[in-house]
Structure 1
């Protein structure tokens, strides 16, 4: 049976960074028709009711119906250590991340955390995510199995490291290639799942391992490749000390076959002009992780400069270096970072980044990230008056964007009324609160 979901509706007909807020299509009394897990039509609610009288109707009143949020950069194994106190990147990895990731050799523990993370993400309105796993193949199987059980569109890969990590968290160049290839064969393109080649970052891979993963990417160029780039200045110094002949951080990846149009580079805060231009020339994407960048003290992402250069940019929570599972909070942090750079972001730009922009960054904009005919029916329903503080501000709004902005800045999981995944309401499970 067809489903008709009614409320305020936001859709995208263009890019608000290029076209301004007019890139959005808004219906104050709109509807989304769902058939077979896909969006069949979007438009005025009354017209859709008349045209499809047998559709089952779910009426959300004045709540906002949007494409589900997309998280372009997350470490699901760090769910349990989110909001750990007081470290910069390298110390944070050694103190919190690596000890926690050691536990993912246990398939039962990996399955427990995968389920917990995905339920927390869904509770916050995230319907697609691109995650790093650990070096353990069990961590990848656990994540994809849990995502498949929930019908999610999800992307992930085995994190590869063969140096500068503890014993038990290192593989080898050959193991990185072999494990990644087996996992890719098992999971890539299975239902709504995609495998992503995942060298953690240059300091934890030898040149041999980077070269092996570059070779595997050349064999499977349809896959994404994700890694970290220029997150902190001391990290950059470390990279250049390890790779003495590299012109800059990005050059390390390029020399080993790890720069390409399907590359997604996390953080990318302290880029040189050459790196910025080369990323744009290659058609690569970057993941902006503002809560992580401020929490770990990394720096201020240059949204205006990178989008002006033509780079595709998505938003990432960077759980658990990021301090929230919420894309709403991530939008708020992106706004705050842009303010500190004196380049404010419009609410339309923030919402686009969390949906269509992130889908573009992950090369899945033909599938998710927008409400349009033919798209997969992943939706989030947002209450624009979810708390007394937000409600009292939104009542003063004179237009849609002014009504939306308080939820961007102050909203959390209480704003998420419902989530639809593949055309079905997603269960709100107890494990999200475990």
Structure 2
């Protein structure tokens, strides 16, 4: 690979297997003094420091001490246009959309405003160690252009798409079946595969898309099956009841997508909390991805996602902030919330499982694990370095740790952007405390 080699030194954790497929500790290699060699924006090697240094004796070295080097976090479901209204009080899903979300999204027809929020959002992600995100935009093509342009300027891998809605939304946020298809196709043609950009076909959810619009977007996906498709599914009971009223002929919520060509590999179904048995079977059968949004699910009072059940069954599961329904830009806080949701379901997630969900698991859900979410040679050099003693409260607990999992768990539960010592995108430091 072209370019001078740089070696990052610190503790290194890398996954050798799915930690849900067996004992979590057995799926992980931990090098107490490890290294990651990068060049030309790619990972060359990772492992024990002595081995990596011997292979590249003339490399530039950056020593992060006891910092924990991981793949950059991958946020598998977010709404960047909701950045400015994150942590808005007191509503459940449908009222929350009408009161907070839709008024804010109306502003994104203004290219300057869209560019301002896109830049702010991505900088917040990088400060929190997140290097890849799959985001909904608004119905405005300007909102998509702004996010992809901001990502391109930062070298980030971003998956995103125009959010399509032709009913049950304010007039200023409605398109049509034809314009949804035309706008999405034009944006897809312009951005998909350009640099690190990935276009995602994006119906918001069945209640805000007519059958005609769903069918149009299903047709677009059939024409471009290499694209992802993202939407929402079975987030709240009131939403499911609304879908039954709007689609009385459908077997269930999932069928409103399936019958219009919007179920398949590459489908990303956000929330997916209150699924029926048929829906669970079909999602696993087609190898679709379920995206767990724990801070959002607790903040809006949606319910408890069955993480352990789905992961052990072999379902693709990603982890996501779902900002601004989610109450934090931090994947550390998101892992903590996933742990808490698991506890409420009686299934405590191991720290290894949480880290995997935030990195390789989410990359796998986005079908990008061939180049993201791992420290494997050839992967993109998107990395985060965690300070495992970033605050006095974390440090005093960390001092008592007997192994790497006791050392990292306090940071998962109490960490935030202060715990991010450094963020690297394509081997270049772009965020963090050092």
The TM-score normalised by the length of structure 2 is 0.98
In structure 1, which of residues 11, 15, 19 is the aligned counterpart of residue 14 of structure 2? Answer: 11
| Number of the residue aligned with 1:432 | none
**C-alpha distance in 1 between matches for 2:303 and 2:99:** 21
Q: 2:87 aligns with which of 80, 83, 89?
A: 83
SS in 2 for 1:283: coil
Matched, 1:242 2:246: yes
TM-superposed CA distance for 1:203, in Å, is: 0.1
Among candidates 161, 178, 181, match of residue 185 of structure 2: 181
Residue 425 of structure 1: aligned partner: 429
Deviation at 1:47, TM superposition (A): 2.4
In structure 2, distance between residues paired with 1:261 and 1:45: 39
Query: What SS does the corresponding residue of 1:218 show, helix, strand or coil?
Result: helix
Residues 285-434 of structure 1: pairs in structure 2 closer than 5 A = 285-427=289-431
1:2 equivalent to 2:20? Answer no
| Cα deviation digits, residues 1-32 of structure 1 (max 9, x gap) | 11000000011111000022211111100000
Would you say the 8 A contact 1:114–1:142 is kept in 2? yes
- How far off its partner does 1:309 sit? 2.6
1:112 maps to 2:112? no
Kindly indicate whether the alpha-carbon contact (under 8 Å) linking 2:129 and 2:431 is maintained by their aligned counterparts in 1. no
Map Cα deviations across residues 143-174 of structure 1 (whole Å, 9 max, x no partner). 00000000001100000000000011000000
**Where do 1:79-158 residues align within 5 Å?**
79-158=83-162
Q: How does 1:167-316 map to 2 (within 5 A)?
A: 167-316=171-320
What is the CA deviation profile of residues 341-369 of structure 1, one whole-angstrom value per residue up to 9, with x for unaligned ones? 00110000000000000000000000110
Q: What's the secondary structure of 2:195's corresponding residue?
A: coil
Structure 2 stretches of 5 or more lacking a match?
Answer: none
Instruction: Please tell me the root mean square deviation across aligned C-alpha atoms, in Å.
Output: 0.9
- Could you tell me how far apart the structure 2 residues matched to 1:31 and 1:310 are? 31
Most deviating of 305-314 and 21-30: 305-314
Contact 2:127 2:431 in 1 (8 A): no
Instruction: Compute the displacement of 1:43 (Å).
Output: 1.5
Any idea what the Cα deviations from partners look like across 1:192-236, whole Å, max 9, x if unmatched? 110000000000000000000000000000000000000000000
Contact 1:277–1:309, Cα closer than 8 Å, also in 2: no
The alpha-carbon deviation at position 54 of structure 1 amounts to 1.3
Equivalent pair of 1:21/1:349 in contact (CA under 8 Å): no
Q: In structure 2, do the counterparts of structure 1 residues 339 and 81 end up closer, same or farther at CA, with 3 Å as the change threshold?
A: same
Structure 1 range deviating more: 266-275 or 41-50? 41-50
SS at match of 1:190: coil
Separation in structure 2 between the aligned mates of residue 350 and residue 47 of structure 1, nearest angstrom: 28
Distance in 1 (CA, whole Å) between partners of 2:26 and 2:358 is: 17
The yes-or-no answer on 1:159 pairing with 2:163 is yes
Q: CA offset at residue 308 of structure 1?
A: 2.8
Contact in 2 for aligned 1:119/1:428 (Cα 8 Å): no
Distance 2:424 2:431 in 1: 9
Distance 1:164 1:92, change over 3 A: same
- 1:26 and 2:15 aligned: no
Gaps of 5+ in 1: 430-434
Any idea what SS the aligned residue of 1:195 has?
strand
Query: Does the CA contact (< 8 Å) of 1:104 and 1:136 recur in 2?
Result: yes
Distance in 2 separating the partners of 1:400 and 1:363: 29
Deviation for aligned residue 1:307: 1.6
Q: Which residue of 1 aligns with 2:58?
A: 54
**How far off its partner does 1:115 sit?**
0.2
Q: Measure the CA separation in 2 of the matches of 1:93 and 1:138.
A: 21
Where 1:321 maps in the other structure, the secondary structure is coil
Return the offset for 1:46: 2.0
